[in-house]
Chain A
Amino acid sequence: MAEDPEDRVPENKVSPPDRRYPDAKALNAKKKVGQVQSTGHVWDGIEEYDNPLPRWWLWTFYACILYALIYGVLYPSWPMVNRATPGLLGYSTRGAVATDIQRFADANGPIRTRVEGADLTAIAADPVLLQYATSAGASVFRTNCSQCHGLGAAGVQAAGYPNLLDDDWLWGGDVTNIHATITHGIRNTTDPDARYSEMPKFGELLNRDEIGQLVQHVRAISGQDHDAALATPGATLFADNCAACHGDAGLGNRDLGAPNLTDAIWLYGGDVAALTTTITNARFGVMPNWNTRLSEADIRSVAVYVHGLGGGE
């Protein structure tokens, strides 16, 4: 008749005695009590239990294994000697990228056709075409042109890559001329229509003193500090040797790509050393032709972009 203490409801039962439901106490007392598995190892009176893994964890684990097996069959996963198993679905990240590129190419198709057909000057007048051409041109420039002309299109004076931001153009700064320069390039051997001119190596034709006089004359006509005594004979030398290409006043000739020697912009430098090197050894800047590498729409876009960088005529 004595109540078995193990049958009594434990004191740390969660819910307090509930007077609203008199049968709740009995309900709680009927709950079963479980045995805990043990590994049998005991240290300092602390026993190591062997509780089973939680069921939710175990079944999630099985599900992951099943998922891995299915994945291994469907997708590229097992490495072999030269490649991996291709997977039944034929998926590859390269293929996915190619699909993406094709999707954009298809979406851009109509406006690219319009850019190809429009007059170069008309593109700047149409806001939709201008916006596309500028964005596409910026992207083309970044990928193809920035290696020489710089990401900011400021050029590299040490290498003679022109600054495309200023208003000084060797072969013409209107959008048609820019387009022609990009299409055919300058002094390259791959395109017969490439712009071509050649400055002679005056080191083989004139002596050091004469070149020195020429340098001073060039510094004089460009408004820099110069030695007037040397510049006077230099002017005569200039008229004899240089005016044919650079013009009598040194204003340059865009048909020949001969620079304007009177302005503040120098492709290779306007200091005495640079001018001396230029006259002695000449310069032969080369630009590749892009008609074999870029589509017409891309060439037109980057021409419009460059024209809109601030120096376009």
Chain B
Amino acid sequence: MTSQHTPSLYAGREPIFPRRVKGSFRTLKWWLLALTLGIYYVTPWLRWDRGPNMPDQAVLIDLSGRRFFFFMIEIWPHEFYFVAGLLIMAGLGLFLFTSALGRVWCGYACPQTVWTDLFILVERWIEGDRNARLRLHRQGWNLDKARKRAAKWFVWLLIAVATGGAWVFYFADAPTLLHGLVTGQAHPVAWITIAGLTATTFVFGGFMREQICIYACPWPRIQAAMMDEDTITVAYRGWRGEPRGKLHKGAVAPADAQGDCIDCMACVNVCPTGIDIRDGQQLACITCALCIDACDDTMTKIGKPRGLIDYLALTDEVAERAGTTPKSVWKHILRPRTILYTVLWTAVGAGLVVALFLRSDIGLHVTPVRNPTFVTLSDGAIRNTYDLRLLNKHGDARIFAISLTSDARLDLTLEGQTAQTVTVPGNATSTQRIYVVAPAGSQAAGEDRTHLRLWVGDLGNTDRIHSDTIFNGKDD
């Protein structure tokens, strides 16, 4: 075989110009777009008073200070498990929604869908609806085309910059950073991040669009595994629509000669990923349900019932083809699998909430000095040294009182302090070395290990925490 026909494995993107559509799902998508974008752009500007010397931004990821602020919640680095828990909940939530309602994330809430939707809206405002955009795409370059394209790219760029800007505002105080950006004093990292996100928003939303969904994103391939025969997803009622054919006005045809589908191509023309839903559910279908709205619109116009393309499950198809009544929506949604996901999701969420409330505003970590394990003093007493890490999560400095309880007789002194109290600055940790002495001949001095409990109390309120540790004696 010295020559063969190798098909080209590279196919360039064929641009898609979705047509405008009106309907209940389109309205729902607009509301979700407004809600998600509103949350994204507005949240960095919300304020939350935490007292002096503390940031007043409601949602703030303070990387240099190593804190995460979310309204009244403040997370320290060693509490990162809360973020991990939230991610687990996000994953379980995705499993739940996908197994119940199909790819609703892809079609309604995914940032790629939302921003692409917005960019297509801008494109439609500036260049016109589908036919006008097709004509513009096919024609050669002239002043009109250049003007329209420039205007469109300019608006896209503004949205992209605002998107990148909103992102960095989550990581710094928004008013301060905005002032810094405008006056050119902001840290280079802010500029670079905004530049990067501007580029990605512009390219992903303006040009790549469905290529992300089809080739780049892993979710479509994972979501297929989460859907089963009871998942409610977008489907074409082929048994009702086929055989399709053009509508002939005035013609009288037998009832089963032609299906409801009149091949008007409305479903294909409104699809943002350019598929034909009549081929069935496929990887590129993000179940945005615009084809449902488009077909319902057509059906209404020709006097046929809606629902030729509709949200239904595989078991519904089986039932309808057989002529029996399909299951109700709730029977589809409430099944062992979805109930299990809900229970797990709730359990993780409840665990996080409980952990949140069980947290203390002060912290203590005890590190015994191991080299040597004990020191003999002149009078024969045995001394152990411990390094305490004291966490003060309050905004203001607090005085911590350190004490110990044990079955054996032990005395406590603090290095560098006269009393058994130490002041820890607000929102900070400090190290304090302590000495615990067992008198000569006492029980603890002669035993290899004695248990003791170190207590730290906040003198400003009744908070008290403890940590257990060991006292090493001279075991002869």
Q: Using CB atoms, name the residue of chain A closest to B382.
A: A264
Q: Which of B2-10, B163-171, B187-195 contacts A (4 or more CB under 8 A)?
A: B2-10
Contact between chains at B385 and A310 (CB < 8 Å): yes
Set of chain A residues within 8 Å of B4, measured between Cβ atoms: 33, 36
Evaluate contact between B5 and A168: CB separation under 8 angstroms. no
Chain A interface residue count, CB cutoff 8 Å, equals: 36
The closest CB in chain B to the CB of A155 belongs to B372
CB of B376 within 8 A of CB of A264, answer: yes
Q: Tell me, rounded to whole Å, the shortest Cβ–Cβ distance linking B13 to chain A.
A: 10
**A152 touching B372, Cβ below 8 Å:** yes
A residues 117-145 near B (Cβ < 8 Å) are 130
Interface stretch, picked from A10-18, A63-71, A178-186, A283-291, is A10-18
Tell me whether B91 is interfacial, beta carbon within 8 Å: no
A113 within 8 A of B: no
User: Is residue B142 contacting chain A, with contact meaning CB distance below 8 A?
Assistant: no
Check: B435 CB closer than 8 A to any chain A CB. Answer: yes
Known contacts A21-B14, A152-B371: A35-B3 contact under CB 8 Å: yes
Most buried by B among A6, A31, A265: A265
- The reply on A150 being an interface residue by CB < 8 A is yes
A-B contacts counted at CB < 8 A amount to 79
Contacts of B77 in A (CB 8 A): none
B222 in the interface (beta carbon within 8 A): no
Does any Cβ of A come within 8 Å of B375's Cβ?
A: yes
| Nearest B residue to A45, CB-CB | B1
Report the minimal beta-carbon distance from B269 to chain A, rounded to whole angstroms.
Answer: 8
Which of the residues A19, A20, A34 comes within 8 Å of B6, measured between beta carbons? Answer: A34
CB <8 Å contact, A13 and B7: yes
A278 partner residues in chain B, CB cutoff 8 A: none
Say how far A170's CB is from chain B's closest CB, in angstroms.
12
Q: A31-B8, A36-B3, A166-B376 are in contact. Are A151 and B416 (CB under 8 A)?
A: no
Nearest-Cβ distance from residue B467 to partner chain A, whole angstroms: 21
Is the beta-carbon distance between B14 and A163 smaller than 8 angstroms?
no
Interface membership of A248, Cβ < 8 A:
no
- Write the nearest CB–CB distance from A222 to chain B, whole angstroms: 10
A45 and B449 CA atoms in complex are apart in Å by: 78
CB of A188, distance to nearest CB on chain B (Å): 27
CB of A47 within 8 Å of the partner chain: yes
> Chain B residue with minimal CB distance to A24?
B14
Residue B383 is within 8 A (CB to CB) of chain A in the complex: yes
Q: Given the interface contacts A24-B14, A154-B372, A165-B372, does A263 sit within 8 Å of B378 by beta carbon?
A: yes
Q: Separation in Å of the A164 CB from the closest CB of chain B?
A: 10
Which of chain A's residues have a CB closer than 8 A to the CB of B6?
33-34, 36
The residue that B377 contacts in the complex, of A6, A21, A265, with Cβ under 8 A, is A265
Within 8 Å of chain A (Cβ to Cβ): is B268? yes
Between-chain CB contacts (< 8 Å), 16 pairs: A10-B7, A19-B265, A19-B268, A24-B14, A33-B5, A35-B2, A38-B2, A150-B372, A151-B371, A152-B369, A166-B375, A223-B380, A260-B378, A308-B415, A310-B415, A311-B375
Q: Please list the residues of chain B having a beta carbon within 8 angstroms of any beta carbon in chain A.
A: 1-9, 11, 14, 265, 268, 369-372, 375-380, 383, 385, 415-416, 435, 440
